[in-house]
Amino acid sequence: MAALLSRFFSRAADILWPRTCAVEGCPRVSDRPGRHICSTCFASLPFHEAGGACSVCGALVMAETHHSFVCETCRLDPPAFEFARSAVFYREPVDRMIMAFKYRKSTWLCEDLVDLLEGAVRAKLAFHDIDVIMPVPLHQNRLRERGYNQSAILARSLAKRINRRVDETSLVRTRDTEHQARLSGDERRKNLKGAFAVTSPSLVRGRLVLLVDDIMTSGATLSHCTRPLLDAGAAGVWCATVARATLTSFAW
Residues in the chain: 252
CB of 80 to Zn ion, least distance (A): 13
Q: Which residues contact 204 (CB under 8 A, 6 or more apart)?
A: 170, 171, 198, 229, 232, 233, 234
Cα–Cα distance between 150 and 66 in angstroms, integer?
35
Instruction: Pick the closer one to Zn ion by CB: 21 or 237.
Output: 21
- Dmax (CA) for the chain in angstroms is 56
Instruction: Pick the closer one to Zn ion by CB: 35 or 207.
Output: 35
CB of 28 to Zn ion, least distance (A): 5
CB of 165 to Zn ion, least distance (A): 28
Amino acid 194 reads G
Q: Taking a C-beta distance cutoff of 8 angstroms, is the pair 14, 33 a contact?
A: yes
Binding site for Zn ion (CB under 5 A): 21, 23, 26, 28, 38, 41, 54, 56-57, 59, 71, 74
Instruction: Pick the closer one to Zn ion by CB: 45 or 71.
Output: 71
CB of 68 to Zn ion, least distance (A): 12
CB of 78 to Zn ion, least distance (A): 9
Instruction: Pick the closer one to Zn ion by CB: 37 or 210.
Output: 37
Strands, sheet with 132-135, edge to edge from the N-terminal-most edge strand: 83-89, 236-244, 208-216, 132-135, 165-166
Count, in order, helices (H) and strands (E) of the chain: 9, 9
CA-based nearest residue to 37, from 103, 116, 91, 132? 116
Instruction: Pick the closer one to Zn ion by CB: 23 or 158.
Output: 23
